Amino acid sequence: MITGSCLCAGVRYVIDGTIDEVSICHCGQCRKASGGGGIAVCPLPSSRFRLLQGQDLLREFRATPGKARVFCGRCGSPLYSCRDDLPDTLRVRLGSLDSPVTCANRYHIHVDSRASWDTLPEGEPRYPGARPTA
Ligand SMILES: [Zn+2]
Ligand SMILES: [Zn+2]
């Protein structure tokens, strides 16, 4: 079982199963939302994500209509995002994990929007925009 929490630890959650995919988004919205070069997320069926505490602290911001970015209203930590048209999928912010996880399936998206100071690791797939659907 994988555990995660926000910076103030008011929100705690568990993820059932494993992290099978690490998508690192460098788009302008993710850079602003994270304060960093991008956000590493794992898309998960929402049934595998269980909130243990802090439901009352959750707030959301919609930079794009139809997509909620959910964060802790006390400390500001990004926790996950969810699209209205894909309500059964959460994109969990992996920086909030407390458990060590490894995942070979890593890739970078929206690299054309990355910050001028941002560098990408060699050898990991990268896409100029969204990841093409297979
Ligand atoms: Zn918090
Ligand atoms: Zn993004």
Domain assignment of residue 62, given as a range: 2-113
pTM: 0.94
Could you tell me how far CA 111 lies from the centroid of its own chain? 16
**Separation of alpha carbons 33 and 29, rounded Å:** 6
Domains: count for the chain? 1
Q: Does 133 map to a domain?
A: no
Q: Does 95 map to a domain?
A: yes
Per-residue pLDDT of the chain in tens (134 residues, 90 and over written 9): 899 999 999 999 999 999 999 999 999 999 999 999 999 999 999 999 999 999 999 999 999 999 999 999 999 999 999 999 999 999 999 999 999 999 999 999 999 999 999 999 999 999 999 998 86
Task: Tell me which ligand sits closest to the C-alpha of residue 6.
Answer: 1
Tell whether the torsion through CA atoms of 125, 80, 75 and 52 is positive or negative.
Answer: negative
Q: Please give the distance, rounded to the nearest whole angstrom, from the Cα atom of residue 90 to the centre of ligand 1.
A: 18
CATH label of the domain that carries residue 23: 2.170.150.70
SS3 106: strand
Q: Does 86 map to a domain?
A: yes
Q: Does 71 map to a domain?
A: yes
Task: Tell me which ligand sits closest to the C-alpha of residue 72.
Answer: 1
